[in-house]
């Protein structure tokens, strides 16, 4: 059986050593596809399909799919496992925050808003700042803050005045409230996972696979999205999915670790979630900084009427100078501009 993984040159992003260990344990024919900065050049092709997608991991998936398609017609992925079995750190963060006294949450929120951001997306300081800053919000708004790239105030500063007035008039939580109907008797952590399953997966995770893999002729199947698996996970009590840890966030996917842990190398079975990320922030601050400027600040940019130029310039200069990490934000703006060009908006 063949297995494939993406590999990166950038420390902190590369999990290929762990993938090799799993392949050796399972006895698979293993191949690695090294993802380098030039993968960013696939961005225009991804949005040219007409789908507005700003998930930077689609770059790695597209490169991986192109290589895998030369060996197999179909591949299995783990999409859906985090959403059904509690694999995201934000799930554990919501559980922990709901057990904090209100006074503690409000105090930590003030501290979080005081903490200045630091360069580097994979930063424990930034993670702590992001977690703490939203603690005084209601649970659903708190979860939205952890999943959002911009606050409402930051969007008001980024968007042109008329665009901001229209965009910010909508209730960003309306759809989530609708998705969580019927779950009022469940803990907020269960409601958050349901929202991810019904919102994040169909609007991002599955779309990303369609655009990046299926478009290259690779069929991707996700056993974790089998309705029987999803239904079973939905009916499982909280304690089956999570393992409490003294002084730390609870560990998700407990039932999966129990079921399959003995088939994996111990170091892999005990690892926390890393996520299928791409070091797009580094690429945009380095070899593709000029390309980014050319796309976003061009006189004929389609987004010029939507965004305040001075706000975009501020994001660019701070990111390239590494005073802050705006990589994912800038990638979103780049995808919007390239999409508008592709569809003729």
For the segment 188-215, what is each residue's pLDDT rounded down to a tens digit? Answer: 888 999 999 999 999 998 999 888 888 8
In-domain check, residue 257: no
Is residue 227 assigned to a domain? no
CB 343 within 8 A of CB 48: no
Cα gap 231→331, rounded to integer Å: 35
Tokens 């999943």 label which residue?
A: 147
Q: Is residue 311 part of a domain?
A: yes
Any domain includes 329:
yes
- Specify if 339 maps to a domain: yes
pTM listed for this prediction = 0.91
**Torsion sign across C-alpha atoms 330, 333, 335, 341:** negative
What pLDDT is recorded for position 121? 59
Q: Can you give the pLDDT at residue 10?
A: 87
Which residue positions in the chain have pLDDT lower than 70? 120-122
Q: Does any domain span residue 101? A: no
Residue 162 lies in a domain: no
User: Which residues lie across from 31 on neighbouring strands?
Assistant: 4
Cβ atoms of 212 and 118 within 8 Å: the answer is no
**What kind and span of H or E run contains 140?**
helix 139-147
Of the candidates 308, 281, 60, 332, the one whose C-alpha atom is nearest the C-alpha of residue 161 is 308
Tell how strand 74-76 and strand 219-221 pair up.
parallel
pLDDT at 122: 63
Among 108, 112, 84, 29, smallest CA distance to 240 is for: 84
Q: Token pair for residue 147?
A: 């999943």
What is the model's pLDDT at position 273? 77
290, part of any domain: yes
Domain span including residue 332: 280-343
Q: Which two tokens mark 49?
A: 């399909």
Residue 186 to residue 23: CA distance in whole angstroms: 39
> How many domains is the chain built from?
1
Q: Which residue has the tokens 């061009």?
A: 298
Q: Do residues 331 and 54 touch, judged by C-beta distance below 8 A?
A: yes
Q: Please report the pLDDT score of residue 285 as a whole number.
A: 94
């Amino acid at each position: 059986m063949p297995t494939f993984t993406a590999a990166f040159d950038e420390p902190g992003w590369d999990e290929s050593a762990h993938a090799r260990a799993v392949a050796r344990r399972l006895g698979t024919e293993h191949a690695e596809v090294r993802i380098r900065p030039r993968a960013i050049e696939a961005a225009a092709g991804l949005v040219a399909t007409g789908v507005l997608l700003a998930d930077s991991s689609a770059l790695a998936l597209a490169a991986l799919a192109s290589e895998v398609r030369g060996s197999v017609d179909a591949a299995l992925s783990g999409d859906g496992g985090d959403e059904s079995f509690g694999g995201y750190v934000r799930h554990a963060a919501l559980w922990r925050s709901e057990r904090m006294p209100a006074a503690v949450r409000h105090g930590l929120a003030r501290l979080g808003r005081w903490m200045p951001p630091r360069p580097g997306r994979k930063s424990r300081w930034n993670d702590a700042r992001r977690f703490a800053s939203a603690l005084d919000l209601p649970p659903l708004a708190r979860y939205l803050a952890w999943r959002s790239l911009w606050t409402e105030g930051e969007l008001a500063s980024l968007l042109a005045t008329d665009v901001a007035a229209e965009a910010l008039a909508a209730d960003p939580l309306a759809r989530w409230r609708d998705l969580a109907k019927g779950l009022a008797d469940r803990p907020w952590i269960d409601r958050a996972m349901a929202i991810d399953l019904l919102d994040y997966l169909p609007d991002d995770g599955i779309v990303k696979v369609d655009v990046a893999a299926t478009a290259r002729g690779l069929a991707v199947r996700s056993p974790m999205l089998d309705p029987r698996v999803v239904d079973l996970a939905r009916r499982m009590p909280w304690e089956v999915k999570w393992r409490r840890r003294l002084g730390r966030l609870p560990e998700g996917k407990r039932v999966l670790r129990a079921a399959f842990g003995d088939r994996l190398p111990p170091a892999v079975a005990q690892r926390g979630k890393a996520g299928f990320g791409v070091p797009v922030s580094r690429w945009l601050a380095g070899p593709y900084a000029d390309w980014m400027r050319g796309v976003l600040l061009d006189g004929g940019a389609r987004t010029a009427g939507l965004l305040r130029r001075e706000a975009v310039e501020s994001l660019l200069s701070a990111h390239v100078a590494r005073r802050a990490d705006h990589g994912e934000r800038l990638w979103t703006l780049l995808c919007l501009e390239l999409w508008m060009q592709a569809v003729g908006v």
